[in-house]
Amino acid sequence: MYGHAIRFDMAQSSVEIVTELHDEPHIDGRRVTVSRIHGLVEEAGKPAAAVAEELNLDIADVYGALQYYHTHDVEMAAVERRRRAREQRAKDAGAASLSELLRGRDEETDGLQDSR
């Protein structure tokens, strides 16, 4: 699966999904993964146009990534399993979760405000 590329030709743009930088599909030349786009649009409910603007992408790139996600369901399920396994290994090794890191940052910020 590593190093493959698939091109989707959309109305205004041509998006190529590759796996050369990450171990999961992403937009060629960018570090934006198909999973991230799917999460922002379909899980978080952000409009595709807003995601395109936020990530400095053409809207066709967003739709191309979503099309890839839905037409490669077996591959995307495997990507999700690998991500969960990496997160579990990191947690088992004592790594802090994102929420723990943010909570620690907020506590440090609160401490700075209290000392003024």
In whole numbers, what is the pLDDT of the chain averaged over residues? 82
Instruction: Find all residues with CB under 8 Å of 19, minimum gap 6, and list them.
Output: 1, 2, 3, 4, 5, 25, 26
Max Cα separation, the chain? 57
Chain-centroid distance, C-alpha 75: 15
Instruction: Find all residues with CB under 8 Å of 1, minimum gap 6, and list them.
Output: 19, 75
Distance from C-alpha of 4 to C-alpha of 2, rounded to nearest angstrom: 6
pTM higher than 0.85: no
Which is higher by pLDDT, 39 or 107? 39
Q: What pLDDT score was predicted for residue 111?
A: 57
**Which tens digits make up the pLDDT trace of 33-88?**
999 999 999 999 999 999 999 999 999 999 999 999 999 999 999 999 998 998 88
Which is higher by pLDDT, 3 or 58? 58
Q: Any idea where the domains of the chain sit in the sequence?
A: 5-114
Chain-centroid distance, C-alpha 83: 11
Q: What's the rounded mean pLDDT across residues 16-40?
A: 88
